[in-house]
Every structure is written in structure tokens, then in C-alpha cells.
Amino acid sequence: MRILLAAAALIAASTIGAAQGLPRTPWGDPDLQGTWPSGPLITVPFERPVAFGTRALLTDEEFAQRRAGLEQQSKLDAVEFSVPGVTPTAVNPPSHWLEGGRASRQTSLIIDPPNGRLPPMTEDGARRAKAWPSTNPSVPYSSAQEFNIYDRCITRGVLGSTFPNIYSSGIEILQAPGLVVIRYEMIHEARIIPLDGRPRLAPAIRSFMGDARGRWEGATLVIETTNFNGKTGSLGRNGNGNPTSEALRLVERFTRRDAETLEYSVTVNDPQTWTRPWTVAMSLTRDRDYVMYEYACHEGNYAIANILKAFRAAENESRGRP
């Protein structure tokens, strides 16, 4: 009941209500097409700060503070040159490179469990999380395989491609009779989701983005995805944190609330990694002017090669070699 109340407070629209007066495709399906970037929600914490408890929404005063902070950041981003002290480390881009957020009353992206925080991991999940490849540049890497798939520009996975990020968070939805296509700016991946009830792929066929099947429940598109390979992350903005397993099952829901608003939620069910399912929900705003740029992740990217060269040099030095 508590999760239903939290979801109702955040999404604030029933499937029936969302269907009234909204566009449909020529073949009669609810029309979800458009570009719906998640980046503007980058200011919403992934996990809820403990002080908020089970409170899903900010008060008027807290919301005003968040909005004032965004306005100040917008002024800093508008300057011609990066401001000393704004960009905290040399590995981050200048602040004006990044996508600005918009004020949201959500206290966290996670809405279930009711405290807005990730549930405990299983013993096996905690073991795998501890061994999960790090992005920390101070960690010595002896081979390219020791970098995670985020660093190697292979994929962000479904979750990492969907969750808000500091850049390249475009999500474009296209529809055709019997299928939906979701195109992500991150790693320029596309998911083609059939709606015709066809059987799933055999369990032996697994991939980074999984095997998706969709259906309509009133005005809501429900997508269930299985057959993951267990090599993508689940935590935070890039899918760069805690691992998932081959048991991962995602249930996503897309509901058009009005002409410019799309309600999205995803329930993460991975019993090998987490002791219970958890859910993220967010309200996406259509951006008709958003441009989906090529995500040329490895173009001119010498980071991995240079890190490995440094490791070899340090290794040779420790062995007394030139």
C-alpha cells in the first residue's frame, strides 16, 4: 500500500485519466513518440537522504531551495570560461559542458522500498559488488578486461542508459504497428520491442540489453525484459555501480500523462543480487528541440591505452627494467 501511495504522489495520473484526449497512432495505440531526455532530473538524488525518511516529496521551502540552487548553477554555466572552484577535479569537464537540471519535488529517484533507498544485497550480490571493476584511476589495471564496460564504451545497459546523467541522456521513442523502438543517446543503442506476443528467446541467448517484450495495459506500455548476461551495473547514473546477474528481470511502465509529460517507472527484480525488488520512477518532459548526438565514446579516447602503458612502465620499474 505504501508503494502505491508513493507512486500515486509522484506520477499523479491513472491510466484511464492519462488516456483521455491524448493522441493515438494511426493504428490506434497510445502515441508515446518523441524525445524525452532524463538529464533534467540529474538533481534528484538516486537514493533518498536518510533525513527524509519515507517522505517522497519536498516541502515548498525545500523545493524553493533546490530551485534557487539550480538558478545559481545556470548563471555559472552561462559564463564564457569555466569558473575556478566550480569544476572540482581535472578529470571532469567544465561546468558549462554539462546538461542543466530542472527543479523537481522528488526526494529520490527510488520510490520503493518506501524509504527511497536500495534494499540490502544478498550475500552473493555483496561479494560480486566488492569485486565489481572500479572506475578509480588510482587502481592499477593490468589488462583491458579489468576495466568495466562503462570505461570500455561497450554499453550502459538498460538502466544506465535510462537514468538521468550529466550529459547525453536523450531517450527517443518511435512506434510502428506491432512494435516500439527506444533509442538512447548513451552509446547510441536502440531496443526494438515487439508487442505481438511472440515467445521469448531461448534462455541460453543472453545480451547486455536483454530480450524485451511489450504489451499495452490501457494507456500504459508495459515492457518486461529478461535474458540479461549479468555484466551490466544497476546503481547510480551510468549503470556503473553494483552488478546485476543473469536472473535480472526489468518491468518498465510508460504512461503519457499529457502532451508534454511521460511518466516512467522501472522495477528491478534480481533475486541473486538484491533481497527484494526495488523501483525507480520519474516524470519525463518532452523536448522538441533536443538533438540526439552521436555518442562517439572511443573517438580520440586514449585513456585505456595510456593507463595500461603507465602500468607496464611501473611494472618494469619495479623489476629493475628500463
Domain CATH number, residue 166:
2.40.128.20
Using one digit for the tens of pLDDT, what is the confidence trace for 43-74?
A: 899 999 999 999 999 999 999 998 998 888 77
Answer yes or no: is 266 within a domain: yes
pLDDT at 3 over 70: no
User: C-alpha grid cell for residue 41?
Assistant: 532530473
Range of weakest confidence among 117-126, 201-210, 286-295? 286-295
For 160, the 3-state DSSP assignment is helix
Residue 310 and residue 175 share a domain: yes
The range of the structural domain enclosing residue 31 comes to 22-42+121-318
Residue 175 and residue 66 share a domain: no
**Residues 220-230, mean pLDDT to the nearest whole number:** 97
Using one digit for the tens of pLDDT, what is the confidence trace for 136-170?
A: 655 677 788 888 887 788 888 999 999 998 788 99
Answer yes or no: is 51 within a domain: no
Using one digit for the tens of pLDDT, what is the confidence trace for 88-109?
A: 444 456 666 666 677 889 999 9
**Nearest Cα to Cα of residue 205 among 227, 237, 178:** 227
Residue 174 to residue 182: CA distance in whole angstroms: 7
Residue 83 and residue 180 share a domain: no
Answer yes or no: is 197 within a domain: yes
Of the ranges 144-158, 159-173, 235-249, 293-307, the best mean pLDDT one? 159-173
Answer yes or no: is 188 within a domain: yes
Answer yes or no: is 213 within a domain: yes
pLDDT at 84 over 50: yes
Total domain count, the chain: 2
Residue 184 and residue 67 share a domain: no
pTM of the model: 0.86
Element (H, E) at 171: strand 171-176
Residue 175 and residue 228 share a domain: yes
Answer yes or no: is 3 within a domain: no
| pLDDT at residue 188, as a whole number | 85
